[in-house]
């Protein structure tokens, strides 16, 4: 009883031959694998809200592996913003020097979960897994191919365990099994999601390539596993990017109102939950750790100024710059920051500020 899994390859914006080669090597190898359907789309983040790329991804009902040139979190929450949701699939693809830090992060997150309610705790999430793999971690295709195969195996084993009733606890009744096969709740997804164009039992993969004329986009995505719905972002942003849904949960309502290059709201988010996947600062782009670049940084050569700003000062400056560009009045720190200012007088900087400062200096 093989279960098919969809593998989405999101192409990079860069014309770097090594990157294109990596994408194509992975696609070519996966086409030889049984039970895998491959979809190639242009850069995930740039896909238009109702373009063919997003529609194709929304059409994938079962488990999905997404390979993109984005941090795992950046990709996951970009998909979420596009209405493509699922439970987080865990991958073994990690930056090499990641592991110690990862443990620390998990500790921190666990502490956080204890005392704060996160938006994700109360959201309805479809019963399938999405695995996001960052194509920048390895330069060779093999680790990705191995990981996709591992996930595909994990995927088919889950099905077997479901089949013998493990997940139902003990011996399932006939009607329970029937309900498993034909779920009655609307969050469940079909067990056999991928009507394959191929005859049953045949393994070869289907390849779909989606071409979409894309401009470059710029907008935030919210990590709802961190977001506490505190509304600081909606108070701070003066361009109408944020809104709330029917149950008063914060959302990126008008992504294209966002001002190109401006990451100010992510700097004031107390939970570091706002991701700009294309920002050059790794923590803003969704890195859980700071991965070191292998390439030299020539920014100083091209005129990078020295800054000694705090994250909040940077946010206020960035917002003022955008207000002036839009022909509006600069507001400085007078709007959208009251809560933080009070906290500031007692504690000059929190950990996140120091971290971002350290990154900026770097």
Task: Give residues in contact with another protein (CB under 8 A).
Answer: 13-17, 19, 216, 218, 260-261, 278, 280, 293, 295-305, 325
DSSP state of 314: H
Choose between 150 and 216: whose C-beta lies nearer to another protein: 216
- Give me the least distance between CB of 133 and another protein, in Å please: 21
DSSP lists the bridge partners of residue 36 as 5
DSSP lists the bridge partners of residue 41 as 10
- Give me the least distance between CB of 43 and another protein, in Å please: 11
* Max Cα distance, the chain (Å): 71
Choose between 5 and 40: whose C-beta lies nearer to another protein: 40
- Give me the least distance between CB of 304 and another protein, in Å please: 6
Choose between 16 and 181: whose C-beta lies nearer to another protein: 16
**Which of helix, strand or coil describes residue 57?**
helix
Closest CA to 126 of 90, 66, 79: 79
- Give me the least distance between CB of 249 and another protein, in Å please: 29
Structure tokens at 20: 């294109």
Q: Cα–chain-centroid distance for residue 168?
A: 31
Choose between 250 and 285: whose C-beta lies nearer to another protein: 285
What is the spatial distance between Cα 312 and Cα 320, in angstroms, rounded to a whole number?
A: 12
Choose between 104 and 297: whose C-beta lies nearer to another protein: 297
Structure tokens at 123: 């959201």
- Give me the least distance between CB of 278 and another protein, in Å please: 7
DSSP lists the bridge partners of residue 87 as 129
């Amino acid at each position: 009883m093989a279960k098919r899994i969809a593998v989405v390859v999101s192409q990079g914006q860069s014309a770097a031959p090594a990157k294109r080669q990596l994408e194509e090597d992975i696609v070519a190898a996966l086409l030889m694998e049984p039970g895998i359907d491959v979809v190639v789309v242009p850069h995930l983040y740039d896909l238009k809200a109702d373009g063919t790329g997003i529609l194709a991804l929304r059409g994938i009902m079962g488990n999905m592996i997404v390979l993109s040139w984005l941090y795992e979190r950046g990709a996951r929450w970009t998909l979420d913003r596009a209405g493509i949701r699922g439970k987080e699939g865990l991958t073994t693809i990690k930056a090499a020097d990641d592991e110690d830090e990862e443990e620390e992060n998990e500790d921190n997150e666990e502490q956080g979960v204890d005392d704060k309610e996160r938006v994700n705790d109360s959201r309805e999430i479809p019963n399938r897994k999405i695995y996001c793999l960052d194509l920048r971690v390895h330069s060779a295709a093999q680790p990705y191919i191995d990981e996709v195969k591992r996930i595909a195996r994990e995927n088919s084993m889950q099905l077997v365990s479901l089949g013998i009733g493990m997940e139902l606890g003990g011996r399932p009744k006939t009607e329970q099994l029937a309900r498993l096969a034909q779920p009655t709740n609307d969050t469940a997804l079909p067990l056999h999601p991928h009507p394959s164009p191929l005859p049953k039992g045949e393994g070869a993969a289907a390849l779909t390539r989606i071409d979409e004329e894309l401009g470059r986009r710029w907008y935030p995505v919210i990590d709802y596993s961190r977001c506490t719905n505190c509304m600081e972002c909606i108070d701070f942003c003066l361009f109408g990017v944020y809104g709330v849904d029917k149950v008063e949960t914060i959302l990126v309502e008008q992504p294209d109102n966002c001002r190109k290059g401006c990451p100010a709201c992510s700097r004031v988010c107390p939970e570091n939950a706002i991701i700009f996947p294309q920002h050059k600062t790794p923590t803003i782009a969704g890195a859980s750790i700071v991965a070191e670049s292998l390439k030299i940084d020539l920014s100083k050569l091209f005129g990078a100024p020295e800054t000694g700003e705090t994250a909040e000062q940077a946010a206020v400056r960035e917002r003022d710059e955008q207000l002036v560009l839009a022909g509006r009045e600069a507001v400085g720190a007078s709007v959208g920051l009251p809560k933080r200012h009070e906290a500031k007088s007692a504690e000059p900087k929190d950990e996140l500020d120091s971290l971002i400062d350290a990154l900026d200096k770097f």
